[in-house]
């Protein structure tokens, strides 16, 4: 049974008397409100509140968010009103609680395509106003998935599909690898139990077979790094998550021997310079697999993920993946945006101030995804089908990077075209585009851009505007909106 002490003992922020008092007060309030209530699993309802709060504490959230986590179901499931919570705990905590309640109303219909669009809009609005609303909802959903066995099968499948289609991708876009991975695996278990069991079995068998090579490589690399004067904070073996492993198996004809990163090693070092020096030492010790080095430090993923990945021929020529990163990068890979926003109890409007550029300044890259989200919302208009399509393509799907000839990085969804790229750079470049090059070679305007390509857009002042045909292949809602706007202006 979880207790409030478990929550307090897992705080990542400083455990000050003021923070502890607020958390304990919220706990006592929630305990009284939920008195006598049981969950479908038979446990006291307060256990769910405590698990939600614990999940928030573990990803580094501070007292107000944790208090909201404890209180998040009170207005909906008890006789206590939101106004009473506001009177007792203030507007900020009441706002988070209210936002979580609203997000809880998002439900999948019979088909995964039939999402409640208006509520999805509310979710994105809530995300742009205060990210803590979404983080609290993710913490709530994680515990619900961990206790899903208590529900009837039809509900289990609906909630699991909803989690896989909506909540896990949001955790991914926020960079919270730990929650994203757990949500995916739990969804997989209920949506496809046969393949879940199959994947689990081969993962356990194969990892056990590869473990001795991993352990040997860990021991040898540790010795080598120590000899070269690198301070290693941590070095350990790791296995791939089940859902991600199954996705890879499907791509490789279900052949486990074609998957190189099932068993891997993670090396945590103090500084960025140590990462690159460590890479050199790893390659000196073990031959790297050509074309399998990925530098996400100099070019982070759109969700902020940073690390160096390399694949090596380890002991006895066995292929292993090695990930190298700093402690800060490792924390951010696990906890994502939550690791950046440890909310001060004395700064009520910090998120709103940061979001709209008032008062405090933050590093540009930390808010890139928020700016993209706001631009995306503004551009899509009110067409429901377009909204849903844009949602799946631009927010939930994987993203790629492309470069301008000057070296600027342009973030795009997978399968984006040179026209999408052009409009992302500037609307006039899009409107006047006549051709494109990728890495110096001429490509068609409907070419699907590959990660890391340098894209050059050729333009002409004589061109009066975009072609209507472009609407057939562009992927981003920004490009679609700009093309339609220009066509309308030209009377087309």
- Which residues are identified as catalytic? 76-77
Q: For the chain, what's the residue count?
A: 492
Annotate 352-389 with b (16+ C-beta within 10 A) or e (fewer).
eebbeeeeeeeeeeebbbbebbbebbebbeeeeeebbb
Residues contacting residue 111 through CB under 8 Å, at least 6 positions apart: none
Angle between helices 17-33 and 46-58 (to 10 degrees): 150
The kind and range of the H/E element at 4 are helix 4-9
Nearest to 343 by CA among 135, 177, 110, 88: 135
N- to C-terminal Cα separation, the chain = 66
| Among the listed residues 103, 33, 16, the one whose alpha carbon sits nearest the alpha carbon of residue 71 | 33
Q: Is 267 exposed, middle or buried (0-12, 13-18, 19+ CB in 10 A)?
A: buried
- 145-149: Cβ within 8 A, 24+ apart: 145/182, 145/183, 145/186, 145/187, 146/51, 146/186, 147/39, 147/40, 147/41, 147/48, 148/186, 148/190, 149/41
**Dist. CA 237–CA 263, nearest whole Å:** 7
Angle at which helices 131-146 and 117-129 cross, to 10°: 120
470 HSE (CA, 13 A, CB side): 31
C-alpha neighbours within 13 Å on the C-beta side of residue 122: 16
What span, in angstroms and rounded, lies between the C-alpha atoms of 132 and 56?
10
The residue to which tokens 């909106």 are assigned: 481
Q: How far apart are CA 31 and CA 487, in angstroms?
A: 59
Q: How far is CA 481 from the centre of its chain?
A: 26
Query: What CA–CA distances, in Å, run from 139 to 73, 145, 341, 483, 489?
Result: 13, 10, 16, 40, 47
Strand partners for 441: 438
How many helices (H) and strands (E) would you count in the chain?
22, 10
């Amino acid at each position: 049974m979880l207790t409030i002490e478990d929550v307090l003992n897992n705080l990542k922020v400083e455990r000050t008397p003021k923070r502890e008092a607020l958390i304990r007060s919220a706990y006592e309030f929630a305990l009284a409100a939920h008195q006598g209530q049981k969950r479908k699993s038979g446990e006291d309802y307060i256990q769910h509140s405590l698990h939600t709060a614990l999940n928030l504490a573990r990803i580094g959230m501070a007292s107000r968010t944790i208090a909201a986590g404890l209180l998040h179901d009170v207005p909906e499931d008890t006789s206590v009103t939101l106004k009473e919570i506001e009177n007792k705990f203030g507007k900020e905590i009441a706002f988070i609680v209210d936002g979580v309640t609203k997000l809880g109303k998002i439900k999948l219909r019979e088909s995964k395509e039939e999402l409640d669009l208006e509520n999805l809009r509310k979710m994105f609005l809530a995300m742009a106003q205060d990210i803590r609303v979404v983080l609290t909802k993710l913490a709530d959903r994680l515990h619900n998935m961990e206790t899903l066995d208590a529900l009837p099968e039809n509900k289990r499948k609906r909630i699991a599909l909803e989690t896989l289609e909506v909540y896990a991708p949001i955790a991914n876009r926020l960079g919270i690898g730990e929650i994203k991975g757990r949500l995916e695996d739990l969804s997989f278990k209920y949506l496809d139990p046969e393949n879940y069991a199959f994947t689990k079995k081969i993962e356990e068998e194969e990892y056990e077979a590869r473990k001795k090579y991993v352990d040997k490589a860990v021991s040898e690399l540790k010795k080598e790094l120590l000899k070269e004067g690198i301070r290693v904070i941590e070095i350990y073996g790791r296995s791939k998550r089940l859902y991600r492993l199954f996705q890879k198996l499907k791509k490789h004809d279900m052949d486990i021997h074609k998957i190189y990163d099932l068993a891997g090693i993670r090396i945590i070092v103090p500084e960025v310079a140590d990462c690159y020096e460590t890479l050199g030492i790893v390659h000196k010790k073990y031959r790297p697999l050509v074309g399998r080095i990925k530098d996400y430090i100099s070019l982070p993923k759109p969700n902020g993920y940073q690390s160096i990945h390399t694949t090596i021929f380890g002991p006895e020529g066995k292929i292993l993946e090695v990930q190298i990163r700093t402690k800060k990068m490792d924390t951010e890979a696990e906890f994502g945006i939550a690791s950046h926003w440890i909310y001060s109890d004395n700064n009520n409007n910090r998120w709103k101030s940061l979001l709209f550029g008032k008062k405090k300044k933050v590093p540009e890259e930390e808010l890139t995804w928020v700016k993209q989200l706001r631009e995306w919302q503004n551009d899509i208009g009110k067409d429901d089908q377009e909204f849903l399509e844009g949602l799946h393509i631009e927010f939930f799907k994987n993203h790629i990077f492309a470069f301008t000839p000057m070296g600027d990085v342009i973030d795009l969804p997978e399968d984006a075209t040179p026209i999408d790229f052009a409009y992302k750079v500037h609307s006039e470049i899009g409107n006047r585009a006549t051709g494109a090059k990728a890495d110096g070679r001429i490509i068609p305007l409907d070419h699907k851009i590959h990660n890391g390509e340098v894209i050059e857009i050729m333009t002409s002042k004589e061109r009066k505007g975009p072609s209507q045909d472009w609407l057939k292949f562009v992927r981003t809602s920004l490009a679609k909106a700009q093309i339609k706007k220009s066509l309308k202006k030209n009377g087309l």
